[in-house]
Amino acid sequence: MRILILGSGAREHALAAAIKKSKHVSQLYTAPGNPGCGRVGENVSLDIMNSDDVRRFCLDFAIDLVVVGPEGPLVAGVADVLQSAGVNCLGPSRSAARLEGSKGFAKDFCREFGIPTAGYARFSEFDTAAKYVQGVGAPLVVKADGLASGKGVVVAQTLEEAERALRACFDGVFGSAGSEVVVEEFLEGEEVSFFALCDGRTAVPFGVAQDHKRAGDGDLGPNTGGMGAYSPTSLVDGPLCRRIMAEIVTPTVRGMAEKGAPFRGILFVGLMINQGEPKVVEFNVRFGDPEAEAILARLDADLIELFSDAARGALGEKQPKFASASALTVVMATRGYPGPVSRGSSILGLQEAESVPGVSVFQAGTRLAGRDLLADGGRVLAITATGRDIIEAQSRAYDAVDRINWSDGFCRRDIGWRELRRTRRTTERDHR
């Protein structure tokens, strides 16, 4: 099979590495890719937001399956264009991608189909929204309705913060994404990322992870696209997994089918877990990044068989298999991230980092200058390690980080801290 991956981040590098292992793959392309992807397959220069360009490439190069990494092309309708041209695509239609493309649609959908989520209200102008916020009080969550590159969500601890967030949305800071706003109830608990593979009618679990959004240790500092993740998490055991499937994932797949927008692809459900009770925080319509790196590191199955069956609507009862090992990903970013960053600093030592047992280094914001690897963005590397448990996975990941010579890079030093705390508490209980 000839496979095309759309995207250029560490998620796409991890997808390329996992797909390349399939016995069915004869040719692998990534558009536009990055130097890491280029080591696994062939990078091609395509505007992935131009669905017609993607379609033409697929027809010219006889692509059998397209795997879409980021949300932008899906919300823009690339899956519709490809499917109409007879090209299988792992990713939902434009209509089904509204689950991520419009937070208001997702909230209304949850209410319509009885899916547990936070209370909310929708607004299209500042004065009405501000009056509502004054009435309900803080803390609460303000969300730009559309795609805002992960920057359109503010957890407001005070009314002043909430009003600033509303003003930013309606003043156009997030462009058209902020022309409508969702104001949500603040939920207590811990967030987890739950993934399911869907074929339009059925869905199967595809891993669970916990992301670390804040830039600094101890979950301090500004929100980012994700500074690290680990998988699995003890927050979601077998019974809770089955409950999430029964109460959230299956009703979502069924509901989208009833709306004439069958969901095919990866459904990412951001959940808040409080005392064992799951509620939907958000839907995404693709793999998370860095969650994908950790989850795919544990996969013990042929990814293309699963993806191809899902894209063709023929998943049936197939269940992906995962190793019992833990996996942990540490993101290295350029100093200044998530704010403005400088570009062009040299990165050395990736080979030494990957000599640590169980470690892979996935690239994101990188570029080549001759044979030199340079930083070329905010999030730059995703160092991923597997281990017998979270303790070993974390140890290996940071051992690898310390072998990388990059003067302009930084990372959090506490990825996995919540799971480690739970693990130690369990061990102490068992020894009493």
Structure confidence at residue 430 (pLDDT): 65
- The residues, ordered by sequence, that sit 6+ positions from 160 with a Cβ below 8 Å of its Cβ are none
For CA atoms 111, 114, 115, 116, the dihedral sign is: positive
At which residue do the structure tokens 């990059």 appear?
A: 406
Architecture of domain 125-179 in this structure = 2-Layer Sandwich (3.30)
Q: What is the pLDDT of residues 206-243, one digit of tens each?
A: 999 999 999 999 999 988 999 999 999 999 999 999 99
pLDDT at 432 over 60: no
- What pLDDT score was predicted for residue 59? 98
From 123-137, 144-158, 302-316, the region with the lowest mean pLDDT: 144-158
pLDDT digits (tens, 9 = 90+) for 48-81: 999 999 999 999 999 999 999 999 999 999 999 9
The DSSP symbol for 342 reads -
pLDDT at 316: 82
Length reported for the chain = 432
Q: How confident is the model at residue 16 (pLDDT cuts 50, 70, 90)?
A: very high
Look-up of token digits 């990412």: 268
Give pLDDT, residue 427. 64
Residue 58 vs residues 4, 7, 46, 88: alpha-carbon distances, Å: 8, 15, 11, 10
**CATH top class, domain 190-311:** alpha beta
The mean per-residue pLDDT over the stretch 291-311 comes to 97
Segment 360-384, tens digit of pLDDT:
999 999 999 999 999 999 999 999 9
Q: What is the mean pLDDT of residues 9-15?
A: 98
Query: Residue 350 above 70 pLDDT?
Result: yes
Looking at the chain, the whole-number percentage of residues with pLDDT higher than 70 is: 98
Q: What is residue 318's predicted lDDT score, i.e. its pLDDT?
A: 83
Q: How far is CA 20 from CA 270, 306, 383, in A?
A: 28, 14, 19
pLDDT tens profile 110-129: 999 999 999 999 999 999 99
pLDDT at 42: 98
The domain ranges of the chain are: 2-93, 125-179, 190-311, 326-430
Average pLDDT over the chain reads: 95
Tell the CATH topology of 2-93.
Rossmann fold (3.40.50)
pLDDT in tens, 280-296: 999 999 999 999 999 99
CA–CA separation, 112 and 239 (whole Å): 25
pLDDT above 90: residue 151: no
* Residue range 326-430, CATH number: 3.90.600.10
Exposed (0-12), middle (13-18) or buried (19+): which is 19, by Cβ within 10 Å?
A: buried
The string of pLDDT tens digits covering residues 19-33 is 999 999 999 999 999
The pLDDT value recorded for residue 428 is 63
Closest CA to 49 of 24, 74, 12: 74
The whole-number pLDDT of residue 5 equals: 98
Q: Are strands 277-284 and 264-274 parallel, antiparallel or unpaired?
A: antiparallel
In 33-133, DSSP assigns E strands to 42-43, 65-68, 88-90, 120-123
What local confidence, expressed as pLDDT, does residue 298 receive? Answer: 98
Tell whether the torsion through CA atoms of 54, 56, 60 and 64 is positive or negative.
positive
- pLDDT of 186-202, one tens digit each? 999 999 999 999 999 99
The overall longest dimension of the chain from CA atoms, in Å, is 66
